Amino acid sequence: VAVGASLAATRGLGPGRDPGGFVLGAVLLLGLARLWAEAWVRGSAAHALAAASASLAGGGAYALWHWVFARLPGLPVAGQPGAFAVGAAIAVTTLMTALVSLQLRLPGAARSVAWARAYAAVANGFYLNTFANRWVLRLWPARPTVALDTGVAS
């Protein structure tokens, strides 16, 4: 992502000029990060060539479509983005980079007790649903309903 952002900056692109394009490009690069990581781990020339080819094809296709759609006739020309849009683009890119980095790190840490506990908490939504249900049921207690065919409360 840093290399891609640097290349975009040399072309006059970046979050200050086109926040949406910057975020989409970063997401594309992050999607390819998994492919790059596998090629790096496997270390074979075939995997490295496949990763480089996919990166060039994906990046080229993205740049081409971005260029084509920016020049379609009749589309309004966007003005200078505001500070909020630039900040949001940088925040989203940073968050996505952290999540992908964490995702790439998890398989190697699978045997760690701390990672297993963290995985259980994340997989269960940090148990926020349980706390929310308890809080809601204190405010609005649920009445038992009676099934019509059995007469048993559920």
Residue-level pLDDT at 152: 59
Q: Is 100 helix (H, G, I), strand (E, B) or coil?
A: helix
Render pLDDT for 75-104 as a digit per residue (tens, 0 to 9). Answer: 776 677 788 888 888 888 888 888 877 777
Q: How far is CA 139 from CA 42, 132, 142, 146, in A?
A: 55, 11, 10, 22
Residue-level pLDDT at 77: 66
Residue-level pLDDT at 146: 66
Instruction: Report which residue type is found at 92.
Output: V
Look up the pTM and report it: 0.53
Please state the rounded mean pLDDT for residues 136-152: 73
Tell me what percent of the residues of the chain surpass a pLDDT of 70: 85
Residue-level pLDDT at 42: 73
Average model confidence (pLDDT) across the chain: 77
Q: Write out the DSSP string of 18-62.
A: -HHHHHHHHHHHHHHHHHHHHHHHH--HHHHHHHHHHHHHHHHHH
Contacts for 64-68: CB closer than 8 Å, 24+ residues apart: 66/21, 66/24
pLDDT at 154 over 60: no
Spatial distance between the Cα atoms of 33 and 97, rounded to a whole number of angstroms: 10
Radius of gyration of the chain (CA): 24
